[in-house]
Structure 1
């Protein structure tokens, strides 16, 4: 695979994932949140499982570890994103994406106790603290109104991020033998069923759906491009570049989400929100500084070699 193509896919990924947050926000005008999420994942499951069946033999869950990973990812990774849809009713897509960028910082906390090799250091604790300071700057809770709509919405998004992190850690813990694309597709099925069950429990109704062309296009984008194409590109880059480099995409996604939300949804961008995002990135740098420094040195070294040539 050429370097130019790898860079192109790396830049495509935040566009696909970042635009998903404004698409969710816009879609909530047409479809109740949990039904919207369930529809997205049912359609995405069909696409991913079809792709997996056509490209690999390891697309069916066969072992106990496979089924445990499917259920863990389905309940927490997919099912937990329902809280994102609920939360985005009360906050902007840019703020939701910035809160989601906390996931790489949350991962060591959630992994501790579930993955034996995970250990905390003082640097980890400091990075975690800095990351949560960044989230506090983004949410800016008012002590006199802690149950205000925006705080509740942003707290739901933060809980969704924690749930998604737990689902990812459980997949690593169970070490499934099936392909990751197939695993994601299978996980979407129980996840979508959970979303439908909670949708019914909250009184959401198909009668509230407004079946417009816009609603269909938004669902199509989320299911086909953000989930189908996005996950395929993500897993391909994961094998090509490794997890650390690919997870740097997490900090380009909010840039796309904030920009698209501002351009198409007239969502405001405050200076304090951007400062909070910068603090979250600083927290991640503290967490992974030992890994980032050698990677950046290699990158600058290759750049100087090409410049000298």
Structure 2
């Protein structure tokens, strides 16, 4: 019964996080990008903080290493990731953004092998990482004569978001900290929101009061902050404990399916063949990089059925 529950929650999480890219595109019609991201984590951070106070053993960091984890989370996992993602997604489709972001688990392995000498990347693993990068190149289709076209720059910014998230995930592992993940997420969200506001002010982003009266703008913000972030991360925490990091990473490869469907239904976006081919390279890269862990998961699943 637990297996069916896990599958159900996994699909729900993929749907929530996949459709979040569509909500971003919808909200960007009304809010400036970085300010929109800041508003999202103003709300999500407070909700996650309340949950951490309720559920975690410790609701605030105390030691230097714990504040270090929070700082990495705020700077890379929240602020840098969302600046690159929201600015980039202004000029590309939600599905393309979701697919490029799905490269994060592959990049995580690459950063881990580079920054942690004990995790040497094999020749086959290098091929997997390179295939993932080829997938991004296929999607962006850079033209040597026009490398700074709006579409290419937008997709490269989203690649920067994937890289920021992957690097942040690796760096948090380097801290010898037992801070509860709920507490780390809550404080990272709050710190990240403050950084996003600072970047928004530095960029001179305007605040249009009419955005607060538009149903689509409020709906997109509420969906991202409450449903995709707060509820989504609660499901993520539950599945992480039950499934482990390898299986939960597969959400990155199911989410774009929901992004494509919801993006087509709500925004009228169509996923082209080139984007699908690029996605295939990224998935293949993930399978090669995680081949041993995936094989172990398949063996475990076979034993469970018996």
Matched residue, 2:264: 262
Q: Is the 8 A contact 2:31 2:208 kept in 1?
A: no
Q: Measured at CA, do residues 8 and 141 of structure 1 come closer, stay the same or move farther in structure 2, by a change above 3 Å?
A: same
Matched residue, 1:176: 177
Matched residue, 1:250: 252
Alpha-carbon distance in 2 for matches of 1:54, 1:182: 10
Alpha-carbon distance in 2 for matches of 1:117, 1:234: 28
Alpha-carbon distance in 1 for matches of 2:237, 2:185: 10
Q: Is the 8 A contact 1:32 1:209 kept in 2?
A: no
Matched residue, 1:114: 115
Alpha-carbon distance in 2 for matches of 1:301, 1:264: 42
Structure 1 runs of 4+ with >6 Å offset: none
Residue 206 of structure 1 aligns to a residue whose secondary structure is coil
Matched residue, 1:272: 274
Q: Is the 8 A contact 1:92 1:267 kept in 2?
A: yes
Q: TM-score if structure 2 supplies the norm length?
A: 0.95
1:89 Cα offset (Å): 0.4
Q: Is the 8 A contact 1:65 1:177 kept in 2?
A: no
1:122 Cα offset (Å): 0.2
Structure 2: state its 5+ residue gaps. none
Query: CA offsets, 1:112-133, max 9 Å, x none?
Result: 3433432111011100111111
Q: Is the 8 A contact 1:44 1:228 kept in 2?
A: yes
Equivalent of 1:284, from 283, 286, 289? 286
Residue 177 of structure 2 aligns to a residue whose secondary structure is coil
Correspondence list, 1:75-224, <5 A: 75-80=75-80, 81-207=82-208, 210-211=211-212, 212-224=214-226
1:300 Cα offset (Å): 4.3
Which 10-residue stretch deviates more, 4-13 or 41-50?
Answer: 4-13
Matched residue, 2:32: 32
Which 10-residue stretch deviates more, 96-105 or 290-299?
Answer: 290-299
Alpha-carbon distance in 2 for matches of 1:40, 1:176: 27
Q: Measured at CA, do residues 113 and 293 of structure 1 come closer, stay the same or move farther in structure 2, by a change above 3 Å?
A: closer
Q: Is the 8 A contact 2:21 2:98 kept in 1?
A: yes
1:214 Cα offset (Å): 1.7
Q: Measured at CA, do residues 286 and 60 of structure 1 come closer, stay the same or move farther in structure 2, by a change above 3 Å?
A: same
Alpha-carbon distance in 2 for matches of 1:171, 1:131: 23
1:3 Cα offset (Å): 2.4
Residue 30 of structure 1 aligns to a residue whose secondary structure is coil
Query: CA offsets, 1:208-243, max 9 Å, x none?
Result: 762212211111110111110111111111111111
Matched residue, 1:74: 74
1:301 Cα offset (Å): 5.2
Matched, 1:56 2:56: yes
Q: How many residues align?
A: 304
